[in-house]
Amino acid sequence: MLNSERALDFIRDGDVVGLGTGRAAFSFIRALGERVRAGLQIQGVPTSCASTELAEQLGIPLTTLDEVEALDICVDGADEVDPRLNLIKGYGGALLREKIVATAAKRLVILVGTEKLVARLGARGILPVEVVPFALGFCRRQIAALGCRPEPRQAGDQLYVTDNGNHILDCKIAPLPDAAAFERALRSIPGVVGTGLFLGMAHEVLVQDGDEVVVKQRS
């Protein structure tokens, strides 16, 4: 993907880089691996077991949040981007670790295609919410009371299990008139450990439109 190559322009020798999860992030990791083999000195902090495995295959040196105080940059994808660069993430199931790594980074760069741009968050109709297994039924009822339809994510015949050992409720939503208020309401429910709302976090969004990459910056 062209925006994966463009994202490499943001990486500097010696950086600690957050490595996202999903199709766009994996494309970036592959491009980063080529630069590492060419001599770029960086360390990566993966957001999932899948991104860890890919980075190891490509020879990207890895570290952890226990070993570094902060990340210089995190590069990831998104499932929705609104005009203010607020995001919905989590269709790939790594939303909690992605939010932790993004928060630890000084800069968050998001890679998307034009199909991910929306006028208002919730336009694609799904908001992932990660919950602890003990509270799955309780959280499902509490979230439903907020006016959406939470459905446990499945993996075949079993409940989907995140890398953290939790479950995901895919909440069927309409476009959100106040995403920040909805985030606060969700996070107030005991058992909810993360939501797919990434509000005010992205610094740049690289939008690939055919053979062109448009860079959107948060004002």
Closest CA to 12 of 106, 78, 102: 106
Catalytic residue flag (residue 98):
yes
Q: What backbone torsions phi and psi does residue 48 show, to the nearest 5 degrees? A: -160, 165
Could you give the CA distance from residue 91 to residue 163 in angstroms, rounded to a whole number?
Answer: 14
Please pick, among 80, 98, 130, 183, the residue that the annotation labels catalytic: 98
- Residues sharing a CB contact under 8 Å with residue 192, sequence separation 6 or more, in sequence order: 129, 130, 131, 135, 139, 143, 186
Would you please indicate which residues are annotated as catalytic (active-site) residues? 98
